[in-house]
Structure 1
Amino acid sequence: MGNADLRDLASIREVAFDELEGSVVAVDAHNWLYRYLTTTVKWTSDEAYTTADGTEVANLIGVVQGVPKFFEHDLIPVMVFDGELTELKADEVAERREKRERAETRQAAAEERGDAVEAARLAARTQRLTDTIQETTRELFDLLDVPVIEAPAEGEAQCAHMAATGSVDHAGSEDYDTLLFGAPTTLRQLTSKGNPELMDLSATLAALELDRQGLIDVAMLCGTDFNEGIHGIGPKTAVTAIKEHGDLWGVLEARDATIPNAAAVRELFVDPPATDAAFDASIDPDVDAARRYVVDEWGVDPGEVDRGFERIRESQVQTGLDRWT
């Protein structure tokens, strides 16, 4: 879910990378990429990733800086991209667009008065996954031999489905929707320094004494990307209310409240669009071709990516040695 309410309820623990070696992770690609994209824009001169015609490809720097973390810890990422926009999410998307437009206006003002620091901060907020970013990210993943899956709808739902059906070991996302979509385990903090976090669905349900449907109802009372919550209900109150009244409908009736499209939102979490997608988990990146693509074809400053490519090359050598020992 878009807010942090489930953070107060979810069973989450730090996990050492040693425990995860050899794991296959279905990564919410938009979520993962956006974090590296905004960081790159915030801290890197736009000259490093802008072509002569003004096309920005900061995503290429982000990918090269982010992928080595998987390889160095013997993790196999399967990047899952969002498919068609769920109609129920239209309001959330519109709100994000409005926030981005406000940030763009403030960014222009900051640039006009010469406040480079504020302009960079706001520029990071205005980032969106353009067609060029979408296309070049996929092409770079292909050269790095990272599997890509196109979800029919929500990427988090596809990641959760893959984890629940056993085609991967874990989902990977910073959002909490994977918990609601039924992922048994989700790895978080994959874009941060240090060890990741493991979010456990079974442990969460056991601690709350709820089933997954009950957890979905709790989330809907608090508010999700697909619905507004009920005023005055936080996560702990929502858990108590569901236990007291049985389910979402019981709580709404008791409070004389309504959630528009509640049945459809509930069903989306229970049975989201997802597919049984096949992929090859054996990865053999062509580092030289990937570097030529990023530096020669798209003109990215080699100083921003050469260390990342070196880490990828070194990780492949080390992984090969480890598998023979």
Structure 2
Amino acid sequence: MGIQGLLPFVEKSTRKVNVSEFSGCTVAVDAYCWLHKGAFSCAEKLARKEDTVQYVVYCMKYINMLLSHNIKPILVFDGQHLPAKAETEKVRREKRESNRQKAAELLRADRGDEARTYLQRCVDVTHAMALALIKECRLRNVDCIVAPYEADAQLAYLNLSGIAHLVITEDSDLLPFGCNMVLFKMDVHGNGCLIEQAMLPLAMKQRPEQFSITKFRHMCILSGCDYLPSLPGIGLMKAKKFVMTTADPDISRALTRLHGHLNMPNLVVTPEYRQKFLEADAMFRHQPVFDPITRRLVPLTPLEPGQEMPLSIDGISQETALQLAYGNLDPFGLRKVDDWDP
């Protein structure tokens, strides 16, 4: 999940904080991060399909902590799967199934302690679990939004549009999405690591006026992301070297000279890779999100004249988008699962 090695890479841009520093502010929370951690505590029950709300109790500890500091949380949940991440989702499903089989074998062999590790790895957080948390949040007047697609883009939109001062997540993708302030690794006491976009030049070893969020995003994509695997031998350091040395503003054209910049004569950048790079870039910039003010789908950042969103929203009516955002529709079939109306 996210850009491999990115958080250690930007360590110089990181400072330790307590979330109480943001008292009086609104924060957007990547709810699935908490749900996944909460699911670990009841993995065996979930794997056996037994009734449990232990994961909700886990998440509410964090929510109550934020509320105690006079912080308004907005929980954001994943929506429909992205076609661009179909391969990533396939790999994740296969890993979960493999872990499920290993857990079953260990349980049959009466090796419960070893099986527990694999049970935790095979847990899949469902919309039903998300809805259980959403319903509990409603009782506390805590706002929730189900994204049309990825929570990452929705979180970024809330931050970039000024609705949320800060994003709380475990996913490093929020940095190439362009968020201004992201709090990682927050514990139940509110301690975490804050990264501000304004501090990223430190990690890139640049002066602030030299820093470009576009080049930073291109570096992240080139090193390998959920939308596009990296090329052989390319990690963050080589990706950084390329984006820092190329002066060509046309990234597709610049990629044709990648081997020269990195002194890798055998590196092949195919036209297909260049096209997928542009598609990944568009997903980071213009993925559809839900605007809670106008209650309609909009691109994460404004489109240029003649440009289209990387995903068509023609088949999603305004009412469908609204009901999905409320949590009333299952994202994976748009089947009605609740009828909440604020």
For residue 275 of structure 1, give the secondary structure of its aligned residue in structure 2. strand
For residue 261 of structure 1, give the secondary structure of its aligned residue in structure 2. helix
In the alignment, which residue of structure 2 is the partner of 1:36? 38
Taking the aligned partners of 1:185 and 1:191, their CA distance within structure 2 comes to: 17
Q: Deviations over 1:195-218 (max 9, x none)?
A: 111111121146424411111111
2:281 partner amino acid: R
Alignment length, in residue pairs? 273
For residue 14 of structure 1, give the secondary structure of its aligned residue in structure 2. strand
Q: Post-superposition shift, 1:221?
A: 1.3
Q: Post-superposition shift, 1:132?
A: 2.5
1:121 partner amino acid: T
Q: Post-superposition shift, 1:77?
A: 1.2
In the alignment, which residue of structure 2 is the partner of 1:66? 62
For residue 263 of structure 1, give the secondary structure of its aligned residue in structure 2. helix
Identify the match of residue 254 of structure 1 among 258, 267, 290: 258
Identify the match of residue 158 of structure 2 among 159, 162, 169: 162
Moved more, 233-242 or 59-68: 59-68
1:136 partner amino acid: A
In the alignment, which residue of structure 2 is the partner of 1:273? 288
2:5 partner amino acid: D
- Structure 1 gap ranges (5+): 280-325
Rate the CA distance shift 1:252–1:99 in 2: closer, same or farther, 3 A: farther
Rate the CA distance shift 1:227–1:50 in 2: closer, same or farther, 3 A: closer
2:228 partner amino acid: N
Rate the CA distance shift 1:9–1:32 in 2: closer, same or farther, 3 A: same
Taking the aligned partners of 1:216 and 1:56, their CA distance within structure 2 comes to: 40
In the alignment, which residue of structure 2 is the partner of 1:79? 75
In the alignment, which residue of structure 1 is the partner of 2:133? 137
Taking the aligned partners of 2:243 and 2:222, their CA distance within structure 1 comes to: 9
For residue 214 of structure 1, give the secondary structure of its aligned residue in structure 2. helix
Bigger share in helix: 1
Check the 8 A contact 2:47/2:123 in 1, yes or no: no
Rate the CA distance shift 1:239–1:120 in 2: closer, same or farther, 3 A: same
Q: Identity, % of aligned pairs?
A: 25
TM norm structure 2 = 0.73
Q: Deviations over 1:244-293 (max 9, x none)?
A: 224643244332324262111111112222232149xxxxxxxxxxxxxx
For residue 290 of structure 2, give the secondary structure of its aligned residue in structure 1. coil
| TM-align CA RMSD | 2.4
Check the 8 A contact 1:81/1:149 in 2, yes or no: yes
Check the 8 A contact 1:161/1:181 in 2, yes or no: no
Check the 8 A contact 1:35/1:191 in 2, yes or no: no
Q: Deviations over 1:109-150 (max 9, x none)?
A: 111111121122111111112242122121111112211012
In the alignment, which residue of structure 2 is the partner of 1:302? none
Q: Please state if 1:230 is matched with 2:231.
A: yes
Rate the CA distance shift 1:21–1:201 in 2: closer, same or farther, 3 A: same
1:93 partner amino acid: E
TM norm structure 1 = 0.77
- Structure 2 gap ranges (5+): 260-267, 295-342
1:116 partner amino acid: G
Taking the aligned partners of 2:59 and 2:203, their CA distance within structure 1 comes to: 37
Q: Deviations over 1:219-266 (max 9, x none)?
A: 111110111012212212211111222464324433232426211111
Query: Relative contact order (C-alpha < 8 Å, sep 6+): which is higher?
Result: 1
Q: Deviations over 1:149-189 (max 9, x none)?
A: 12122111111111111111101111111111111001112
In the alignment, which residue of structure 2 is the partner of 1:8? 8
